[in-house]
Structure 1
Amino acid sequence: MSRETAYNFEPITGPGRLIDYVASGEKSDPQLGVGTEHEAFGLLSDSLTPITYSGDRGLQAILEGLVSEFGWQAEFDRGLPMALVCSDGGAVSLEPGGQLELSGRVNKTIQDSDQELDRYLSHVQTVSQRLGIRWVSAGCHPTAALDEIGWVPKSRYELMAPYLATKGSLAHNMMRGTCTIQANFDYRSESDCAELVTVAAKMSPFVSAIFANSAVVANQATGMASFRCNVWRHVDRDRCGTPAFMLDGSFTYAKYIDYLLDIPLMYVRRENGYTDVGGVTFRQFIEKGDAVMGDWELHLSTVFPDIRIKRFAELRTADGGNRAAINALPAFWKGIVYCDQARSEAHQLLGDMSSEAQRELYDEVCRLGIRGTYREASILDVCQQLVKISEDGLARQAERHGHDTEVGYLSCIRDWLNSGRTLGDRALAAFEAAQPGDKEWLFEPLELK
């Protein structure tokens, strides 16, 4: 969920303005960039219990420390710091359960992203060590039950929580108990966006398998490779999943806008704060004559398809993970989405994929991860072929643009697949080897530092 930004009160007169909004994100080849977002759970180092927002060792203290010690700029909600911005373009925000999220700046290479991550983690660790806080990242909270995780006192979460509670049985698990790594990419035109979306929609379940990292939740084995993947299937059918037009090659800006227009709004923002609009769709809200562009941008932040287009493409299906995983995800996607030959090879490998076939594949991935099958083929084998396609795509991009190769950032994925043991498998093994009630097991595989 995104941080607060300046609200645009330009009136929306019709869907054409919204199509223009998506089209305004088009970039030329030299402008193409990569953005990485990732989230982490904070734990008190002595009790290994989740940190809260308030208190001497809470999230508010973390944010205030980053401001006072490193010059981050705070953004406030009802007088409380809820987000930070950095002069280089990065931003920090708080998820509903206190997950700390870095939304990285737009970078040209994964090396640049890695340097940004290094600086951010250095800042966070400096403040956290003084307060006695450690950070871990996995698809779901590995040691805390949902009732042990508090709510961040952010005004819009107070409207989102009751709304989603009526829509899905695991909606609050998503809000408070999950972490992700997300990679963001630009597109050059409508047709380029369509190709990116289609290949990403087919690949997304395999990405979930590679990065599956939520086999342990609340200090219990779930019996699933990715419990987070399962959580997202029980949040809100109106606003989650993959629309058919993203899979069948018929994506257009207009179809995407139509899809979003028929999803109910959660709320809008006006002078007196956030307001519940009664569950009307955005199309109905426009027809009433009340809609402004800020409402649209807010609406975009409250719809959760696997691939979300704002003025760039967000690829959203990976579980949270450690530092190696945070760099590997954007590198893996970049090797394919920014190389026309790699895109074509990925399309050929995966073939046509219906919505039903994708749902069945996600069923398999949730339970078995890379050990599952798809069309009688091993998911592990398909993932290995996708990694080879990405490696070759990264090599072509490095040669074309004259920068160092980024292939090395895929080494952890190669290790996971060659050994048949993903990061989540290693976390599960550490949990099973620990003494009952011991929570120290999580740091070796999952600590973020």
Structure 2
Amino acid sequence: MARDTTDLTPIASMDDLVGHLRDGEKPKAAFRIGTEHEKFGYYRDTLAPVPYEGPRGIEAVLKGMQERTGWEPILDEGRLIGLAGGSGGGAISLEPGGQFELSGAPLESIHGTCAESNRHLADVKAVTEPLGIAFLGIGSSPLWTLAETPMMPKSRYEIMRRYMPKVGTRGLDMMFRTTTIQVNLDFSSEADMARKMRIGMRLQPVASALFANSPFTEGRPNGLVSWRSEVWSDVDNQRSGLLPFVFEPGFSYRDYAEWALDVPMYFVIRDGRYIDATHVTFRQFLDGALADRLGSEPPSMGDWTNHLSTLFPDVRLKRFLEMRGADGGPWREICALPAFWVGLLYDDAALAEADDLTKDWRFEEVAALRAAVPREGFSTRFRDGTVLELARAAVAIARKGLAARARLNDEGFDETVFLSPLEEALARGRTPAEELVRLFDGRWEKRIPELFRHLTY
């Protein structure tokens, strides 16, 4: 999750809000790749989740990472809740249940982003092994109940914890018991943004199947391939899921801004304090709804930036596009997720082919696909075929796109090597989740500690 900002530049008009999104445009030569991944910490001896406090808590892990990396502390009311990287960007942050997140720097290739993740995981392991802590790559908490899951001391999370049960049944599960891998990608123009967002929205259920990694809840199979995706079906549907207007011709920055204006806020930050604003939309905020609490200080661009970070559509628009449909997973998938989307969206020929594959998919069809994939995975029906067939087509396009980019590492390999875990799953015809359940029911003899051993970084 992005670091909250306190930019106090006053909002003068709707053009400022739209312009903030437009300012993300950059020439294709300047396109970068920002990869984020979350993971669950646990104690090796007990398999219990790691709380914030204590000599073997998440705070101690952050302090160890700060000492090892030299990154700057991020504080919330004096508490260490993250680290910010140097001039190259990147950050470490905490999700509500202690999920440890690397928000990667904007890098030029998948080789770079994969090396970054591997360095991070090596640093985490060096810091946590003496503490008896390890981290797990999986899309949902496989063992702990909601009551057993700790809460991190971030002000925005306390506001969200109170608000979520008012707007959906699964918001607390999302906050405390899920993880994701996502990639942040650039666009060159409004038309390029709209095209990529439409393709991203349409193919997000396919990505959810390819990266389905959450088949266990509270120590046993839950009957789903992506429990995390199922959770997102009832978190807060005012700010989540598919956006019908993205599927319309002429979709624009202004359309997204107009939608965002009518979504309830979470908070505003003043003098370092988080003020609960869940009872008003951003449009009402602009019209003075919080004046009794904020006095003469006007709504600012920092407020807008923070509000955009609290919207959760399957593809999120800020000054870049965030692909949000994948479960967290093992280390190879941290590299595979950006490879999939970069291959589809950063090469012109691949982008055109992906557009052609999906251009006549209607909103209602994609919504039905999104609803079925968490349970049915690759076998989900779509028109006259299945998601397995769609996934094979999409990965084949991504492979061509990555090959055309021709970004080579020191050994002369291009970025197509990072698609291997996806191509292996497609060859098996089973999602990663189904493979985990097969191991659990077979070789692991239904022993949940074997799952932890298998998926520990």
CA distance in 1, matches of 2:83, 2:409: 33
Q: CA deviation at 1:430?
A: 2.8
Distance 2:106 2:278 in 1: 36
Q: Matched residue pairs, number?
A: 446
**TM-aligned CA distance change 1:206 to 1:278, over 3 Å:** closer
Specify the code of the residue in structure 2 equivalent to 1:91.
A
Alpha-carbon offset, residue 118 of structure 1: 1.5
Per-residue deviation, 1:399: 7.2
Q: Does 1:213 align with 2:213?
A: yes
Alignment-derived partner of residue 104 in structure 1 = 104
The amino acid across from 2:175 in the alignment is M
What is residue 446 of structure 1 aligned with on the other side?
455
Q: List gaps (5 residues or longer) in structure 1.
A: none
Partner secondary structure for residue 166 of structure 1: helix
> Where do 1:168-317 residues align within 5 Å?
168-271=168-271, 273-288=273-288, 290-317=298-325
1: CA distance between counterparts of 2:181 and 2:229? 13
Summarize deviations over 1:140-163 as a string: whole Å, max 9, x none: 111212111011011111111111
Which amino acid in structure 2 is aligned with residue 12 of structure 1?
Answer: I
**Is the Cα contact below 8 Å between 2:408 and 2:415 reproduced in 1?**
no
- Rounded Cα–Cα distance in structure 2 between residues aligned with 1:68 and 1:326: 25
Match of residue 407 from structure 1 = 416
User: In the alignment, is residue 416 of structure 1 matched against residue 425 of structure 2?
Assistant: yes
1:444 and 1:423 map into 2 onto residues whose CA distance is 16
Query: Is the 1:240–1:306 contact (alpha carbons within 8 Å) kept by the matching residues of 2?
Result: yes
Determine the C-alpha separation between the residues in 1 that align with 2:15 and 2:270: 24
1:428 aligns with 2:437: yes
Q: Is the 8 A contact 1:85 1:91 kept in 2?
A: yes
Match of 2:330 in 1: 322
Cα deviation, 1:154-206, whole Å, max 9, x if unaligned, reads: 11111111111111101000000000000110000111111111111111110
Give the CA deviation at 1:82. Answer: 0.2
1:39 is the counterpart of 2:38:
yes
Measure the CA separation in 2 of the matches of 1:246 and 1:445. Answer: 39
The 10-residue stretch of structure 1 (399-408 or 170-179) with the greater mean CA deviation from structure 2: 399-408
Structure 2 contact 109–407 (Cα < 8 Å) conserved: no
What does 1:312-351 correspond to in 2, within 5 Å? 312-351=320-359
Amino acid at match of 2:77: R
Residue 431 (structure 1) shift: 2.5
Measure the CA separation in 1 of the matches of 2:108 and 2:386: 34
Distance in 1, matches of 2:341 and 2:368, equals: 23
Structure 1 runs (4+) deviating above 6 angstroms are 399-403
The Cα offsets for residues 258-303 of structure 1, whole Å up to 9 and x where unpaired, read as: 0101111111111150112352111111122731111111111111
CA distance in 1, matches of 2:401, 2:9: 41
Contact 1:110 1:406 in 2 (8 A): yes
| SS state at 1:156 partner | helix
In 2: Cα distance, 1:249 partner to 1:74 partner: 44
Structure 1 position 432, deviation (Å): 2.2
Contact (CA 8 Å) 2:97, 2:150: kept in 1 or not?
Answer: yes
Query: What is the TM-score with the length of structure 1 in the denominator?
Result: 0.96
Q: Which moved more, 1:254-263 or 1:264-273?
A: 264-273
8 Å CA contact 1:206, 1:383 repeated in 2: yes
Asked if 2 retains the 8 angstrom alpha-carbon contact of 1:214 and 1:225, the reply is: yes
Sort the Cα spacing of 1:196 and 1:435 in 2 relative to 1 into closer, same or farther, 3 A.
Answer: same
- AA at the equivalent of 1:153: P
Give runs of aligned pairs for residues 332-371 of structure 1, distance below 5 A.
332-371=340-379
Distance in 2 between the 1:401 and 1:214 partners? 32
Structure 1 residue 351: deviation in Å?
A: 3.7
Q: Shift of residue 233 of structure 1?
A: 0.9
1:94 maps to what in 2? 94
By how many angstroms is 1:376 displaced? 2.4
Mark the runs of 5 or more structure 2 residues left unpaired by the alignment: 292-297
Per-residue Cα deviation, 1:311-337 (whole angstroms, up to 9, x for no partner): 011010000001110000000100111
Per-residue deviation at 1:444?
Answer: 4.7
Q: Give the CA RMSD over aligned residues.
A: 1.8
| Aligned counterparts of 2:7 and 2:193: Cα–Cα separation in 1 | 25
Mapped to 1, the partners of 2:145 and 2:28 lie a distance apart of 46
- State whether structure 2 residue 80 is matched by structure 1 residue 81: yes
Using the alignment, how far apart are the partners of 1:244 and 1:122 within structure 2?
A: 42
Amino acid of the residue matched to residue 369 of structure 2?
L
Shift of 1:404: 4.8
**Contact 2:339/2:416 (<8 A) preserved:** yes
Give 2:384's aligned residue: 376
